Amino acid sequence: RRLTSSWKPSEAGMLTPLEPIPSIARPAAARLVLSNGLTVTLEVTDDSRVFAAHVLVKGRAAAEPPGRNGCAELLHMLAGEGTRSHPGASFQKALAGIGGMLKVTDDAQIPFDDIFLSSDYTYLRLEALDELASSALDLLREVLSEPYLPAGDSEAAFIQAKNRLSARARAAMESPRESARRLLAAALWGDSAAPAAPLFGLPDTIEAIRSEEIRAFHRRYFHPKNLVVGINTSIPLRQVLPLVER
């Protein structure tokens, strides 16, 4: 729509104000902390009919065990492969059933897809159709609380995930931006400070991660008290709040 000035010329050559521009209604919003310690923010807007849940996991580099840099990224990769209730192909079927899209890691091939990349936290997002918000929240709960994690070090999915992460770590080592970030953090806080750690780990630290370590890390890192979930939807607050609190 073409924008117009809020002033118009009068017959006497003076500027007189037009009618006041109507104020734009602010989205309805709420913030709550559930009984399990999970922090949830809600924003309701009519801009779209997409239900989007953004999850911020606090800590990242500081939360990783010593000598196991890359643990957080590896956990995210595995969480995107399926859950105990929906392993393998059934997870993709469940995701398609809600018209969903799940982002658990950044795509190095997409420019600026790493907008949320930080040593302070990790990020994942689930989007679905508004009318299927209840099912979307159920699937998000599975991803966070019961991802399908390897029972042993020799599981093919675990080995493949570690190999993919090692390739990403090697690429990051050649990135001028990542090198500059680590050098600056080391100069400010020291080489051993969490912000100076490689975000994707190093090939040797990734190789050292054992399956029992990733399971223990999941219990601590994806604990509700360590999560902040932000939800955007067009569903009225009085309807979406019970879905979140149940």
Instruction: Identify whether the C-beta of residue 143 lies closer than 8 Å to the C-beta of residue 83.
Output: yes
Secondary structure class of 88 (helix, strand, coil) = coil
Instruction: Identify whether the C-beta of residue 141 lies closer than 8 Å to the C-beta of residue 83.
Output: no
Model confidence, pTM: 0.86
**Tokens linked to 12:** 């006497």
**Tokens linked to 160:** 């493949």
Instruction: Identify whether the C-beta of residue 46 lies closer than 8 Å to the C-beta of residue 233.
Output: no
**pLDDT recorded at residue 20:** 63
| CA-wise closest residue to 140 among 72, 215, 55 | 55
**pLDDT recorded at residue 15:** 58
User: In whole angstroms, what is the distance from residue 71 CA to residue 105 CA?
Assistant: 13
User: In whole angstroms, what is the distance from residue 232 CA to residue 105 CA?
Assistant: 20
Which residues in the chain show pLDDT less than 70?
Answer: 1-26
Pairing of β 50-58 and β 121-129: antiparallel
Pairing of β 101-103 and β 121-129: antiparallel
Average pLDDT along the chain = 89
**pLDDT recorded at residue 115:** 81
Torsion of CA 238, 244, 245, 246, to 10 degrees: 110
User: In whole angstroms, what is the distance from residue 105 CA to residue 9 CA?
Assistant: 55
